[in-house]
Amino acid sequence: MKRKAENEVKLTLPSRSSNESYARVAVAAFAAQLDPTLEEINDLKTAVSEAVTNCIVHAYPDRIGPVTITVGLYAGNRVRVQVRDKGVGIADVKQAMEPLFTTGGGERAGLGFAVMQTFTDRLRVRSAPGKGTAVIMEKEIRKR
Amino acid sequence: MSVRIQSDGQTVTAYLEGEIDHHTAAEMRRAIDDELQCGTVKLLILDFRDVSFMDSSGIGLVMGRYRLMRFYDGQLQVLNTSPQIYKVMRIAGLERLAVIEKGEMKRSDPA
């Protein structure tokens, strides 16, 4: 999706776990103008929750840093969500995306990227160690 | 408190409430594990009827309790999962680890 967004919002929040709920609800509320079904809204909320949690748990393991979320609405009823951090970055993105791979300890399932992949149409991850990570997710909201 | 617990020493039912994410899961986990510590529990029931949202942190919560119940030689049951919750659980194949009983389609939660 190279075209310009028809409508776009950008928000930056500190990587506190108490912001997880706000982040997913904010994205869902903005995307609501495309008239999604309850299932589509839930898909989006779940995917965003995973991306933001990754920033909190992995990108900033021992400090609070900025998480920037850009939500764009595009022609063809498509929503694109970018979740960006300036944290530690991922050395091996391919490995990090493997289901069950986690550096988060016993209570983390290692399924964050698998959930993002399942609940959106397209997932891209760009990362550089020491610079940060950007997760881009796209989802088509079906016309009703 | 985001979890209400009923116990007769052998069966523990945990009624989870609200949203389960990385922020809320730790507190729920501690409350449940406190009940299991005595080691006499044979059946743990996780009831999701009042859970409006769950991400993969909930998978970690269920899988961790599954391992614990196996250690205690007991069983785990998962009740009243909404379509969204069941969809997340399916990604981890949780339906192969525990008996999951799906709930009715619930009231729609606000976006």
Domains of chain A are 7-140 (3.30.565.10)
Would residue B50 count as lying in a domain?
Answer: yes
| Higher per-residue pLDDT: B68 or B103 | B68
- Per-residue pLDDT band at B109 (split at 50, 70, 90): very low
Would residue B11 count as lying in a domain?
Answer: yes
What are the tens digits of pLDDT across the range A43-52?
999 999 999 9
Predicted confidence at residue B106, as pLDDT, reads 46
Predicted confidence at residue B107, as pLDDT, reads 45
* Cβ <8 Å between B88 and A108: no
b/e map of B38-76 (b: 16 or more CB within 10 Å)?
Answer: eeebeebbbbbeebbbbbbbbbbbbbbbbebbeebebbb
Mean residue pLDDT of chain B comes to 89
CA–CA gap between residue B79 and residue B46 (Å, rounded): 6
Would residue B107 count as lying in a domain?
Answer: no
Neighbours of B108 (CB within 10 A): 11
CATH number of the domain within which B73 lies = 3.30.750.24
**Mean per-residue pLDDT, B76-102:** 89
**Mean per-residue pLDDT, B29-44:** 93
Both structure tokens of A62: 């021992």
Would residue B108 count as lying in a domain?
Answer: no
Residue B92 with chain A: CB contacts under 8 Å:
109, 111
Predicted confidence at residue A56, as pLDDT, reads 96
CA–CA gap between residue A75 and residue A2 (Å, rounded): 11
What is the CA angle B50-B34-A104, rounded to 5?
80
**Pairing state between β B75-81 and A122-128:** unpaired
Cβ B13 vs Cβ B43: under 8 Å: no
Neighbours of B31 (CB within 10 A): 16
Q: How many domains does chain B have?
A: 1
* Cβ <8 Å between A50 and B55: yes
Both structure tokens of B65: 């309790």
* Cβ <8 Å between A46 and B53: yes
**Mean per-residue pLDDT, A71-92:** 97
Place of tokens 């909201």: A141
Cβ B78 vs Cβ B46: under 8 Å: yes
Would residue B49 count as lying in a domain?
Answer: yes
CA–CA gap between residue A125 and residue A133 (Å, rounded): 7
Predicted confidence at residue A130, as pLDDT, reads 96
**Mean per-residue pLDDT, B28-54:** 95
Chain B residues 31-60 with CB within 8 Å of chain A: 53-57, 59-60
Residue B25 with chain A: CB contacts under 8 Å:
107
Q: What range defines the domain where residue B67 resides?
A: 3-102
CA atoms within 13 A on the CB side of B28: 30
**Mean per-residue pLDDT, A12-23:** 97
